[in-house]
Amino acid sequence: MAVVLIGTGMAGLRGQMPGVEPRPYILRFDEDKPNPLYRRICYTFAWNAVLNFALLNLVAWLLPPSPACGT
């Protein structure tokens, strides 16, 4: 946990995290610019969390309860 806090703190001080940019990060729709690396990584982990949560809940609904659970 300390490594994550130190890493995010350093990135925040350098302005490399969402919300800490020195000026507003506004994309114009006519500009063809790729997303920054940190944003691609954050979006990847966010989608991973959403999909895992949904799939685990779906599996829990579809599978019958185990006799070991006591139900």
Give residue 35's pLDDT. 77
6-39 pLDDT, tens digit per residue, is 887 888 777 677 766 666 666 666 666 777 888 8
CA-to-CA dists, residue 28 to 25, 31, 33, 34, 35, angstroms: 10, 5, 9, 12, 12
> 3 or 8: which carries more pLDDT confidence?
3
Distance between CA atoms of residues 71 and 17, nearest Å: 47
pLDDT at 68: 75
pLDDT digits (tens, 9 = 90+) for 31-66: 667 778 888 888 899 999 999 999 999 998 998 877
Question: What is the pTM assigned to this prediction?
Answer: 0.44
